[in-house]
Each structure stands twice: as C-alpha cells, then as structure tokens.
Amino acid sequence: MKKNSRYILYTFYFKLWIMKKKLGLHKLLDMKFPSPVSVQWIAELINAELTGNKDGIATGINEIHKVEEGDLVFVDHPKYYDKCVNSAASFIIINKPVDVPAGKALLVVDQPFEAYQTIVRHFRPFTPADKPVSSLAQVGEGSYIYPNAFIGNNVSIGKNCIIHPNVVILEHCVIGDNVYIQAGTVIGSDAFYYNTKKEKDVWYKKMLSCGRVVIENDVEIGAGCTIDRGVSHDTVIGRGTKIDNLVHIGHDTVIGKNCLFAAQVGIAGATTIGDGVVLWGQVGVSKTLTIGANAIIYAQSGVAASLEGGKVYFGSPVEPASVKMKELVWVRRIPEIWEKVKNL
C-alpha cells in the first residue's frame, strides 16, 4: 500500500473514532486504541510473524464473544481456531499458522496470551493515583463526592451525581448524569478471568482487564456492590436501572434500561440482560447467557441458560413460575401419597 493511501486510511479511521466519541457510541465498544494502528506495527510490538493482509488497520482488541470488524483477538487452543478465524475479528493472534479468509491477517507467536498482555500493557499502562480524586478525572456540574471516596485516573462523572463515602471508581470508567452510588461500592474492579494452563505451580494466569464500566444516566446503585470492568469490552448498566445492596455484576455484562435488582443478586461475566428485567433477592445468573426484556425472576432462583423475555420464572434451575409452583405442591404431597401407596 502506498504511503498516501495508508495515510488516507489512518485519517478515515481516526475521524470515525472521533465521531463515535462525540455521539457516545464509544461507550459501547471494546478497548479501542487511541487511534487506529497498522497491523505491521502490532506485529513488531509482539514480535509476531505476520501473514495475510499485511496492510490492515487495527482499531482495538477484544474477546471472541464481543469482536467487531477491525478488532484483534487471540486464540491459543486448536478447539477455538475456526471460531476465531471465522469471527468478525480482522486480526487473529495465534500460535500456529492456519488458513485465513481474504482480508484478514494472522499474527503468529508462541504465546498468544502473553502477546495479548503486551498489547494491553502498552495501551493501558498502570498509572498510580496520587490523590483521592484524580486530577485526570472529570466531574460534572452539580455532582458531589463525599470524603473518603476514591476516583481514579481518566474517570468521567456526569452532572448531578452523588458519590457516597468509601465508593471506589477505578480508572477509565464512565458515569452518566443523575447517578447515585451508595457507600462502599466498587466500580471497575478487575474481571475474574484467568487463562488456565496448569503449568508447574501456576495454574491460573490473570488476564489483564482493559475494558471499562459504563453506567448510563439515572442509575442508582446500593451499598457494598461490586461491578467488574470488562476484560476488553465494556460492562454496561443501562439508563434508569436500580440496584440494591450487595449485588455483584461480572465482567462484560450488558444490562438494559430500567432493570430492578434486589439484594445479593449475582451475575456472572458476559451476560446480556434486556430492558425492564426484575431479579429478586439472591438470584444467581450464570455466564454468557441472555435474559429477555421484561422477564421477572423470583428470589433465590438459579439461571443456568438463556430465558425468553416477558415471562415470570422461579426455581433452580429456573422454570416458568406457574410450572414450578405446581411442582412444589406435588412435592409436598409425596409423604401423603407414599402412605397411601404403602396401605394398598
């Protein structure tokens, strides 16, 4: 590719990124680079052999279940080669050469996981905070931060927010307008996400989290909640959602608008929850599933698989509440029925 053509591509992608940022679309994207970079530069950074489209432009890095065109993704197990190569990702960091579709590129390295870590460290280096409210944070008009709260580097807080004592909002997180966060809540803790290799004494290698938490307008979060940042995508809390005390939300989870979560709800990573969903106390939700809009799940239920919206559920694993209630009635009658059977 000629220099002027490459310059035009760089300029186009950079302007596209700026446009998305102005429109707020960046809030729902993976870890985008500050500006697009050539795949050749990435190959040099991680010392990779580059095959396929050597003139490509990478716009960000992402996980396989969240990838978009322009993304980098890594894979280090043959079981997932086809899935990664045929995903929306344009660039695949891999530990073995394979056939690649036209327009995509492979970056072949011995340790794809370590290559991913190198990229994250480069674009999201650790920067110590030197004060309770970072000078790199932005706090909107009318917002109040109580003493003993911590606001990290590059955090954005909108207008008319209330941040209570001992709240922690870690780097790069985005808080909208009219957000209310009660005492002791942690926003943007690292994902519970490890590469399992079981090599010698090291079984679990921490995967660095370069995603964010994005909390939209009019959200209320209770005391003692924990919301993990995305691994490379964003964890998103939709506008108007209300969250009770002691709720945990895992990495990369996307929660819709106007949801209601009661105390001690736990949601695993990469889950999608539609608008208007109600989770009553101590509901547990497994990873990488979808709960449809306006579903209601009664207390102490366990969600192991995706659920259709607009229905009421109960039990562990959950079933439609009307079915589960009938089952419970019959379970209670088992001793009575058994006595009758014995006397036949």
Q: Which three-class secondary structure state does DSSP give residue 293?
A: coil
pTM given for the model: 0.86
Whether residue 80 is predicted with pLDDT greater than 60 in this model: the reply is: yes
Question: CATH for 3-123, among 3.40.1390.10, 3.40.50.2300, 3.30.2420.10, 3.40.50.970?
Answer: 3.40.1390.10
Active site residue 251: yes
Q: List every span in the chain annotated with CATH 3.40.1390.10.
A: 3-123
Residue 164 identity (one-letter amino acid): H
- Nearest alpha-carbon partner for 92 in 154, 30, 43: 43
Mean pLDDT of 181-194: 96
Alpha-carbon separation of residue 274 from 69, 253, 306 (angstroms):
24, 11, 11
Considering only 43-57, 164-178, 195-209, which range has the smallest mean pLDDT?
Answer: 195-209
Q: pLDDT (tens digit, 9 = 90+) per residue, 155-164?
A: 999 999 999 9
Give the Cα-Cα-Cα angle 199, 202, 208 (nearest 5 degrees).
110
User: How many beta carbons lie within 10 A of that of residue 86, not counting itself?
Assistant: 12
Mean pLDDT of 108-127: 94
Please, are residues 7 and 57 in contact by the beta-carbon 8 Å criterion? no
Q: pLDDT (tens digit, 9 = 90+) per residue, 27-47?
A: 334 588 889 999 999 999 999
Fold of 138-324: UDP N-Acetylglucosamine Acyltransferase; domain 1 (2.160.10)
Q: pLDDT (tens digit, 9 = 90+) per residue, 4-35?
A: 444 444 444 444 444 344 433 333 345 888 89
Contacts within 8 Å (CB) and 24+ apart, 250-259: 250/191, 250/192, 250/287, 251/191, 251/192, 251/193, 251/209, 251/211, 252/63, 252/65, 252/66, 252/191, 252/211, 256/293, 257/216
Whether residue 236 is predicted with pLDDT greater than 90 in this model: the reply is: yes
| pLDDT for position 343 | 80
